[in-house]
Amino acid sequence: MPSNNTSTEPVYAIWFSGATREGTAHELLEGIRKEAGARSEEIRKLTTDEYAGRIISDAAFFLPRDLLAFLRAQAYESEFDRALRYLSEMSNSGVRILTKK
């Protein structure tokens, strides 16, 4: 999903579902949520804002304590950026951040 980003939001390139994608954290999470929603009624009902919040709140179940403490101490441009980073650190999410501009 190419980005039409004209603001100062960072643009990421990620690897997900066998392909590279570019966009803002919000755009990328929206696409990931839509794909996951095709397999999960619970995720399908969430907005992208709610999905990002769920990733952040559930991170304690999927990330080692020390890694989560490190990630929580970092500064993020938005909660979408935080959620995308957390998701990329979850080994079974399939999301990997390749670049950030």
pLDDT digit string (tens) for 41-91?
A: 999 999 999 999 999 999 999 999 999 999 999 999 999 999 999 999 999
DSSP state of 7: S
Higher-confidence residue of 2 and 42: namely 42
On the 0-12 / 13-18 / 19+ scale of CB atoms within 10 A, 81 is: buried
pLDDT band for 1, please (50, 70, 90 cuts): very low
pTM of the model: 0.91
- Position 6 scores a pLDDT of 52
101 pLDDT above the threshold of 90: yes
Q: Is the pLDDT of residue 4 over 80?
A: no
CA 32, distance to chain mean position in Å, is 8
**Helices 79-89 and 48-62 meet at what angle, rounded to 10?**
40
Residues with Cβ within 8 Å of 68's Cβ and at least 6 positions away in sequence, in order, are: 59, 60
